[in-house]
Amino acid sequence: MEKGRVMDRMYGIYNADGGIMGELAYVWGKIRGTAHCALCDITHRGVSKKREWKQLESALTVPIELLHINEQEPTLAEFTSGLTPCVVGDYGGELRIIMNDAELEACGKSVDKFESSIASKLN
């Protein structure tokens, strides 16, 4: 990566498919204990976004787009294959993992801990 290149955007990729069937499969898997997504736990409470997450989204200096596995463009999908959930930084078309599953898990469902972790990576 070129020195000084700036992150244009972040993508938060959930470890679940979007759409009705994807959401139902995730909820069923969560009930059975076979599905888990640390990013979902950070951004959502039940089926709606956490108030704290909405506030963070509007305060971030680099915009973040939240996507399900099946909502990604092909290049992003190929890059994140087998790595979800994760947060990816886009540096002028060059993609880089900013937070991996373990780092998201370490946030313990906390928007504040996520914000601290992201802030340290953006500075």
Residues 6+ apart with CB under 8 A from 123: none
Domain with 115 in it: 9-122
d(Cα 8, Cα 63) in Å, to the nearest integer? 8
Q: What is the pLDDT of residue 30?
A: 73
Q: Could you tell me if residue 52 is inside a domain?
A: yes
Place of tokens 């950070």: 42
Answer for the pair 97, 27: CB distance below 8 angstroms, yes or no. no
Q: What is the pLDDT of residues 9-49, one digit of tens each?
A: 999 999 988 777 767 667 766 767 776 789 999 998 877 89
Question: CA–CA separation, 41 vs 77, rounded Å?
Answer: 21
CA 50 – CA 36 distance, rounded (Å): 18
Global pTM? 0.88
Domain of 95: which CATH number? 3.40.30
Q: State how many domains the chain has.
A: 1
Decide if 75 is inside a domain: yes
- Residue 55 located in a structural domain: yes
Q: How many CB atoms lie within 10 A of CB 38?
A: 24
| Cα-based angle 22, 40, 25 (whole degrees, multiple of 5) | 20
Q: Rounded to an integer, what distance in angstroms lies between the CA atom of residue 26 and that of residue 94?
A: 30
Instruction: Examine residue 4 and state whether it is found in any structural domain, yes or no.
Output: no
Which residues lie across from 88 on neighbouring strands? 11, 97
Cα 100 to Cα 1, 24, 51, 119: the distances in Å are: 19, 25, 23, 15
Please provide residue 48's backbone torsions phi and psi, each rounded to the nearest 5 degrees: -120, 155
What pLDDT digit, counting tens, does each position of 47-65 carry?
789 999 999 999 999 999 9
Q: Look at residue 83 and tell me if it is in a domain.
A: yes
Inside any domain, residue 1: no
